[in-house]
Amino acid sequence: MWGRNDPAPVRVFPPVTVEPSDIEPSDIEPSDIERNAALSESASITPRVIERPDDHRFELLIGGEVVSFATYSVRPEGVVVVPHVETRVEHRGSGHAGQLMDGMLGLLRSSGRQIVPVCPFAAAHVRSDVRYHDLLAG
């Protein structure tokens, strides 16, 4: 038994290179398959905000499902006007509208656009966070 201050023994193994062609399906444990499936599933349920310019919408997708969206129009000078933000009833109260707004504002910033938030929720979200004040159109 080790004493409290004694380091645990370390075993050093030489590096081994394994090519994908060296692995047989029988070499993969079911737990590895399940773990990879769980990782793939969690990646697909990661919230993601996209813009659909043809529909004049920003959408928050989780697992490929539209959970929240914001409609918009574009003024001639390129300013984005957001009159409405909505979250599906079964997802309300989970912070998804805020996630949508953060993602949308990030997309607007990266494309050099500004916003006029007409929707009360959108206006409160933008005005309550100093990081977004520069995105407000005058």
> Which CATH number does the domain 47-135 belong to among 1.10.287.990, 3.40.630.30, 3.40.50.1260, 3.30.70.580?
3.40.630.30
CA distances (Å), 46 to each of 40, 68, 83, in order?
A: 10, 14, 26
Q: Considering the chain, what percentage of its residues have pLDDT values greater than 70? A: 68
pTM: 0.68
The DSSP call for residue 91 is: G
> Is the Cβ–Cβ distance between 77 and 89 less than 8 Å?
no
pLDDT tens sequence across 117-135:
999 999 999 999 999 999 9
pLDDT tens sequence across 41-100:
445 578 999 999 999 999 999 998 999 999 999 999 999 999 999 999 999 999 999 999
Q: How many CA atoms lie within 13 A of 122 on its CB side?
A: 26
Q: What pLDDT is stored for residue 83 in this prediction?
A: 98
17 or 2, which is more confident: 17
The DSSP call for residue 137 is: -
Whether residue 3 is predicted with pLDDT greater than 60 in this model: the reply is no
Q: Which residue has the tokens 């409160």?
A: 124
Q: What pLDDT is stored for residue 127 in this prediction?
A: 96
Partners of residue 87 on adjacent β-strands: 68
Q: Which residue has the tokens 């910033």?
A: 109
Q: What pLDDT is stored for residue 35 in this prediction?
A: 55
104 CB neighbour count, 10 Å cutoff: 29
Query: Which amino acid is located at 10 in the chain?
Result: V
